[in-house]
Amino acid sequence: MGTWVLHVDLDQFVAAVEVLRRPELRGRPVVVGGRGDPTERGVVSTASYEAREYGVGSGMPLRVAARKLAEVPDAVFLPVDADAYTAASETVMATLRALDVVVQVLGWDEAFLGAETDDPEALARRVQHAVLAASALHCSVGIGDNTLRAKIATGFGKPRGMFRLTADNWFTVMGDRDTSALWGIGTKTAKKLAALGVHTVRELAVADEVRLADALGPTTGPWLARLGRGRGSTRVSDEPYIARGHGRETTFQHNLADRADIEDAVRTLARRVAGDVRAEGRPATRVTLKVRYAPFETHTSSRALPEPTFDVPTITDAALALTERLDPSRAIRLLGIRLDMTPPR
């Protein structure tokens, strides 16, 4: 019996839930995001595989998605229905917990499983069959000897398949791939690594950690080198996720440029997120302001609060103070407020 980590990822989850509710959409390019109106500002939450063939992807502005699908007569845009996705997700997670494995939920559509088995592929097939029977949803399963490798392996198994990635085949599979293929490395970090002459996973694995630490930070540098070697946690925990904070944000249909409008929007967001923190019962300790300038450039700034508090005026004043750091010459398309909270007792 070996110790294995499985990563279960529901295929095109949000789009798949919508197709189950509307079978006539099967086989059509389906895009879910915002209020379902591609003429409004909003981003794609998910796209069906048929829509992805036209270059539509998660996080893309709805208007860009609409342009890519302009010549596709059967494409459809739908609004986000969080309640429906939550219900489908709960069915799947309950099914996984019934399989005598440790389940660590990562979000609506994915989870790590920790299991003792001598045949992880057989367990993966069992997972797929159980999920399909309970929810009518398909999933892909990554099999690994740690969470990092299991997570990455899932991508090689999509859709509806499985793949095993371990220390034995890590460099065979990943060695010549760009560093951005690693879970945890985005485009910006990959560019920083490329500037250091580190382009592939193999090059990252053998990179000088002191040099990485000097360039990218004493914690981040060595951590990136470990990613290159495929190192990750072998522990899967079923402890409930505890939020570190709460946030609210708004995308404006028309850019904000007037100072009074910006401050009004910040006051509204601060009041709402302060209510979220109070409902959690853990006072706020830090406020962060997120701004997205037109056309699509995002910045954040933050400050610690004098003491943990639920007080709305104190939180609002701190958020408004952060607006002094905004560029007054640039129009704003999105604002967001996040509050970090005290740890749970």
CA distance 236 to 234: 7
Give me the sign of the Cα torsion angle 271, 274, 276, 279. negative
Paired with 245 in beta bridges are 340
User: Which 3-state string (H, E, C) describes 127-196?
Assistant: HHHHHHHHHCCCEEEEEECCHHHHHHHHHHHCCCCEEEECCCCHHHHHCCCEHHHCCCCCHHHHHHHHHC
Helix (H, G, I), strand (E, B) or coil at 18: helix
Only one residue has tokens 């893309």, namely 60
Helix (H, G, I), strand (E, B) or coil at 250: strand
Catalogue the active-site residues: 110
Instruction: Let me know: does 43 contact 296? Beta carbons within 8 Å.
Output: no
> Which residues make Cβ contacts (< 8 Å) with residue 246, sequence separation at least 6?
273, 276, 277, 280, 338, 339, 341
Instruction: Let me know: does 127 contact 149? Beta carbons within 8 Å.
Output: no
- For 54, the token pair is 């036209």
Instruction: Let me know: does 72 contact 29? Beta carbons within 8 Å.
Output: yes
- For 67, the token pair is 């342009």
Complete edge-to-edge strand list for the sheet that includes strand 102-107: 102-107, 110-117, 2-10, 139-144, 162-165
